[in-house]
Amino acid sequence: MKKFFSLLLVLALALMALPVCADSVIPGLEDGVLTVAMECAYAPYNWAQPDDSNGAVPIKDSVLYANGYDVMTAKAICEANGWKLEIMQLDWDSLIPAVQSGVCDAVIAGQSMTSERMEAVDFAGPYLYATIVCLTRQGSQFAEAKGISALSGGSCTSQSGTIWYDSCLPQIPNAQIAMPAESAPAMLMAVESGTVDFVCTDMPTAQGALIAYPDLVLLDFAGSGDDFQVSEEEINIGISVQKGNTALVDAINSYLSGKTADDFNALMQEAIRIQPLSE
């Protein structure tokens, strides 16, 4: 009998030493690679560059490299979890479908954690808290605006599929809202070229734009009593994953939970510092 129990003990110890079974592996990460999709055209969140300077990561199926706040965040998450990182470049409107279909494991691309998006994907985070602002040109009749009421009647736009365009611009009295821009660079070019009087965006995008376009003016109405009305879900920026992949959400949150808003802002300032001026 003692030999029998000794054999059972040996078997139990042997089983404990075996690798974790496949069922416990996070879906999509069986190969140990986290595939992250982003635009690579949305500085300072993310951009494409010709080399690996400042820690840039190769873009899948491209000769270019990705960098920016989203890439820095993705690298830190992978390091914390022992994963390799793969960056995939997609246009904005393709990001949610890509994570839904499993083309990528996650989207880290400056997405607001809205209830509408949460119907399609799950979110980890936030990994940033955004403030909504506007940009106009120096010398514009709106350059001294102290609240959104002072923007009344102006022509404006923002990026397609964002809360800036769908929720914020309609709050401006008598706003002449133009067609949405397909990308953040197109949005910035619209105000820089004079196609519109001003654009609505978030603080990091605006701060990055001021480096590339020093003739622009940032309009921040926070604390004025005449600011954009946004919910917490609209300014919480998160990481989207396939619906039901709670294991991946938990693994990402295990890293993010140790970070503060000051940590996020400090990393964003570093991204702004190193962004290419052409973005």
Task: Give me the DSSP letters along the chain.
Answer: -HHHHHHHHHHHHHHHHSPPPGGGSPTT-TTSEEEEEE-SEETTTEEEESS-GGG-EEBTTSS-EEESHHHHHHHHHHHHHT-EEEEEE--GGGHHHHHHHTSSSEEEEEEE--HHHHTTEEEEEEEEE--EEEEEETT-TTTT--SGGGGTT-EEE-BTTSHIIIIIGGGSTT-EE-PPBSSHHHHHHHHHTTSSSEEEEEHHHHHHHHHH-TTEEEE--TTSS-S----HHHHEEEEEEETT-HHHHHHHHHHHTT--HHHHHHHHHHHHHHS-TT-
Residues facing residue 159 across a β-bridge: 181
- pLDDT grade for 17, boundaries at 50, 70 and 90: very low
**Per-residue confidence (pLDDT) for residue 24, from 0 to 100:** 61
Q: Give residue 86's pLDDT.
A: 98
194 vs 19, which has greater pLDDT? 194
**pLDDT at residue 8 above 70?**
no
To which CATH superfamily is domain 132-221 assigned?
Periplasmic binding protein-like II (3.40.190.10)
pLDDT band at 9 (very low <50, low <70, confident <90, very high): very low
How far apart are the C-alpha atoms of 270 and 67, rounded to whole Å?
A: 11
> Model pTM?
0.84
pLDDT of 183 strictly over 80: yes
Which single residue is written with the structure tokens 């002072």? Answer: 150
> How far, in Å, CA of 226 to CA of 248, rounded?
40
What is the pLDDT at residue 223?
Answer: 93
Given a cut of 70, whether residue 268 has pLDDT beyond it is: yes
Is the pLDDT confidence value at 227 over 70? Answer: yes
In angstroms, the CA 46 to CA 143 distance is 28
Confidence of residue 276 (pLDDT cuts 50, 70, 90): confident
Mean pLDDT score, 174-202: 97
pLDDT at 104 over 70: yes
Q: Are strands 65-67 and 46-49 parallel, antiparallel or unpaired?
A: antiparallel
Q: Give pLDDT, residue 15.
A: 43
- Of 75-84, 93-102, 269-278, which range is least confident? 269-278
With 50 as the cut, is the pLDDT of residue 13 above it? no
Provide CATH 3.40.190.10 ranges for the chain. Answer: 27-130+234-274, 132-221
Domain 27-130+234-274 class?
Answer: alpha beta
What is the pLDDT averaged over residues 224-236? 93
Q: Write out pLDDT tens, residues 115-133.
A: 999 999 999 999 999 899 9
Query: pLDDT at residue 22 above 50?
Result: no
Answer yes or no: are the C-beta atoms of 77 and 221 closer than 8 Å: no
